[in-house]
Amino acid sequence: MRRGSYLFTSESVSEGHPDKVCDRISDAVVDTFLSHGPDSRVAVETLCTTNRIVLAGETRGPAKVTAELLEDVARHCVRDIGYEQNGFHWRDALVENYIHEQSADIAKGVDPAGNKDEGAGDQGIMFGFACDETPEYMPAPLYYAHNILKSLAEARHSGAEPELMPDAKSQVTLEYVEGKPVRTTSIVVSTQHTEKVDTDTIRELVRPHVVNVLPEGWMCPEDEFFVNPTGRFVIGGPDGDCGLTGRKIIVDTYGGAAPHGGGAFSGKDPTKVDRSAAYAARYLAKNVVAAGLAAKCTIQLSYAIGISRPLSVYVDTHGTGQVDEDKLGLTLRELMDLSPRGIREHLHLSRPIYARTAAYGHFGRTPDPDGGFSWERLDLVDDLKRAFGAA
């Protein structure tokens, strides 16, 4: 039963957050392998701390992807984010590489052979979600939290706000009435800044980036607008807190408004269903909502390592569906081959399109001309409408 009124909160973190630095590097490693060999296999993790970057994991790909090349890739990521600080500098950080060859046992389970199709890279459950709260079919608290930080990052990169530094977090709390967001009750923004800027200056610097993102009239009360609550945020990034790949999975997906599967996305090539099947589930759920078949849709997929077909496909429209959920599930399986190979080919995932996903969410983004964010396309809407006589 839908609750009458409640508060719901989601957070986002910037590209300069320590964990996001690691996600960016890991995904750039994936892109590097895929750009040299579309059939590469990559499962790479990154750790960042004070002037140190550690790469680890397993790969299989072209010999031209050397340790020296991957070190350059890591440094480029840090430089592009904007870290040139004493405690974390793209030029000065020590880069250690512990990446090794992919396990032969895993390769045997995944690779096609004889009559065996390409299998899933691991067992697991993956979720996709969409709702009609925003034009991008994303939950509103996360949508606004991401956009606040994107606005701050754009101002920092352009030079418009030189007081800002790369590390930042945001948190947005909305009031819902009858399942719909109606206003903001509180905002939290913490942003790293230069040494000589005081708290009041940062507060007023941040304010327009919040007001301009929220719907008109939605700014929270002044006593619920928190900017750098500790009063100072100069030491930040990996110098202030160790970062690891895959620690911001709720930020990456739906801000807690929907379930999350068992694995992170970053650092994994698209044969890993942790990543590709989560993208497929989002793609299907988004098209269902965009077709007007439901106001909210959750899809769960499950897989076993080495097995090509999904073990289950579950569809939940949360009482908002306009069609039978069982028929909807069957229709979705007819419209898209949900084997690992089928997902990869349908969404054209074997391309170097992943570094751009590392910050501000993997979902709710605009599809790029080169195929990035292909899982955000709405090219199944007409097929779904026809299947249910709604065209």
Non-local CB neighbours of 213 within 8 Å, separated by 6+ positions: 144, 147, 148, 151
Q: Say whether 232 counts as a known binding-site residue.
A: yes
Classify strands 94-101 and 52-60 as parallel, antiparallel or unpaired: parallel
169 belongs to an annotated ligand binding site: yes
- Tokens 């790909």 correspond to 61
Nearest in space to 95 (alpha carbons), one of 158, 29, 155, 160 = 29
> Any known ligand binding at 358?
no
Residues listed for the chain: 391
Tell whether residue 286 is among the known ligand binding residues.
no
Q: Name the token pair of 339.
A: 């084997």
Distance from C-alpha of 248 to C-alpha of 265, rounded to nearest angstrom = 10
Tell me whether residue 241 is annotated as binding: yes
**Residue 168 known to bind ligand:** yes
Which among 15, 19, 7 has a CA at the least distance from the CA of 257?
7
Q: Is 385 annotated as a binding residue?
A: no
Q: Any known ligand binding at 300? A: no
What is the DSSP secondary-structure string of 132-174? SSSTTSS-HHHHHHHHHHHHHHHHHHHTS-TTEEEEEEEEEEE
337 is in an annotated binding site: no
Q: Do 10 and 145 form a contact (C-beta atoms < 8 A)? A: yes
**Any known ligand binding at 45?**
yes
116 is in an annotated binding site: no
- Annotated ligand binding at 123? The verdict is no
Q: Which of 51, 50, 46, 49 is nearest to 94 (CA)?
A: 51
In DSSP terms, 241 is beta-bridged to none
Between CA 39 and CA 355 the distance in angstroms is 18
Distance CA 369, CA 382 (A): 21
- Does 272 appear as a known binding residue? yes
- Calculate the alpha carbon distances from 36 to 24, 67, 75, 367 in Å: 19, 14, 19, 23
Angle at 107 between CA 103 and CA 111, to 5 degrees: 175
Annotated binding site for ATP: 17, 167-169, 232-233, 241, 247-248, 264, 268
Annotated binding site: 17, 19, 45, 58, 102, 167-169, 232-233, 241, 247-248, 264, 268, 272
Annotated binding site for Mg(2+): 19
Annotated binding site for K(+): 45
Annotated binding site for L-methionine: 58, 102, 241, 272
